[in-house]
Amino acid sequence: MRDVTEATATEAVLRTFAATSDGRLRQVMTSLVTHLHAFVREVEPTEAEWAAAIRFLTETGHMCDDRRQEFILLSDTLGVSTLVELINNRRQPGTTGTSVLGPFFVEHAPPPSDGVSLLRDGTRPTLRVHGRVAAPDGAPVAGAVMDMWQTAPNGLYDVQDPAQPAGNMRARLHTRADGGFDVLTVRPTPYTIPHDGPVGKLLAAAGRHPWRPSHLHVMIDAPGFRRLTTALYFDGDQHLDSDAVFGVKEALVVRPVPAAGGIDEVRFDFTLERAAA
């Protein structure tokens, strides 16, 4: 541990973790130190730059409270949240792809107000979303629990906006015997992630915008199947190819078509992956 040099610094730190009894912790810390030291060697930050980096992380922590998690936002905007989600949700071919959960999911969402509508604030429905939930062999999944949530026309979720009634633009429903579902709503509105803190300053400094494209979150639970957390993204949104949190997948992009009564229609069938025995 004495006389550490630029050449021996990494190995000196790694030796301190060699006897760690928790094997997973030892693996994680060994990899972290190795890659972090490699980053420092590649970038060669000045002491002032390293101090600025520490200030940035400190400010990020100061922005965290019960209602906001700036570190999750940082993870999102660096694509780490999406990468972790992709690694942990490798799916069988032919099943519906996943997307990031986001911070606005609410447990125990209310059932649809009239059996089919997500709207609780008097907004007139302009979009019908319907389809079917099935197993990989095409068999219907009856009684699957579907949570859906989205932004209101002002670009806010109900939990962000005291003016919206509780449960507005969200609902929990069950698929029919044939696996079908049918809801009325409005097209979700694009919105910005919070950008009034250190993460927002980083985006601005990098010339990046804070916008997420319009999307409808969907979570599906059914016995015998893996939970599916995904989202439907809407064709034509200008932010589809520059989502601030890297959540868009082409297979999840939907294209509403005009239907009767001035209500556009989206048909999307979800295929669940069977749970491992």
Q: Which of 89-93, 99-103, 272-276 tops mean pLDDT?
A: 272-276
Residues 39 and 85 both lie in one domain: no
The sign one gets for the Cα dihedral 205, 79, 97, 185 is negative
* Distance of alpha carbon 251 from alpha carbon 126, whole angstroms: 23
pLDDT digits (tens, 9 = 90+) for 138-152: 999 999 999 999 999
pLDDT exceeds cutoff 90 at 240: yes
Residues 94 and 222 both lie in one domain: yes
Residues 11 and 122 both lie in one domain: no
| Block residue for tokens 């907004």 | 123
Percent of residues, the chain, with pLDDT higher than 70: 99
Q: What was the pLDDT predicted at 109?
A: 82
Choice between 110 and 158, residue whose per-residue pLDDT is larger: 158
pLDDT exceeds cutoff 70 at 10: yes
**Could you tell me the pLDDT band of residue 277, with boundaries at 50, 70 and 90?**
low
The answer to whether 239 touches 213, Cβ cutoff 8 Å, is yes
Residues 113 and 192 both lie in one domain: yes
- Identify the CATH number of the domain in which residue 199 sits: 2.60.130.10
Residues 259 and 167 both lie in one domain: yes
When divided into structural domains, the chain yields a total of 2
pLDDT digits (tens, 9 = 90+) for 12-69: 999 999 999 999 999 999 999 999 999 999 999 999 999 999 999 999 999 998 878 9
Mean pLDDT in residue range 156-164: 92
Angle between helices 47-62 and 198-206 (to 10 degrees): 130
Residues 31 and 165 both lie in one domain: no
- Tell me the pTM: 0.89
Residues 115 and 236 both lie in one domain: yes
Residue partners of 247: CB distance under 8 A and separation at least 6 = 82, 99, 100, 212, 215, 231, 233
Could you tell me if residue 186 is inside a domain?
yes
Could you tell me if residue 200 is inside a domain?
yes
Residues 134 and 215 both lie in one domain: yes
Residues 195 and 89 both lie in one domain: yes
Task: Return mean pLDDT, the chain.
Answer: 94
Could you tell me if residue 153 is inside a domain?
yes
pLDDT digits (tens, 9 = 90+) for 190-227: 999 999 999 999 999 999 999 999 999 999 999 999 99
pLDDT exceeds cutoff 90 at 104: no
Burial call 231-258: b when 16+ CB within 10 Å, e when fewer:
bbbbeebebbeebbbbbbbeebbbebee
pLDDT exceeds cutoff 90 at 273: yes
Give CA 247 to chain center in angstroms: 6
The answer to whether 193 touches 244, Cβ cutoff 8 Å, is yes
Residues 27 and 92 both lie in one domain: no
Residues 36 and 114 both lie in one domain: no
Residues 251 and 206 both lie in one domain: yes
Q: Which two tokens stand for residue 55?
A: 């200030």
State which residues form the domain around 135: 80-271
pLDDT exceeds cutoff 70 at 270: yes
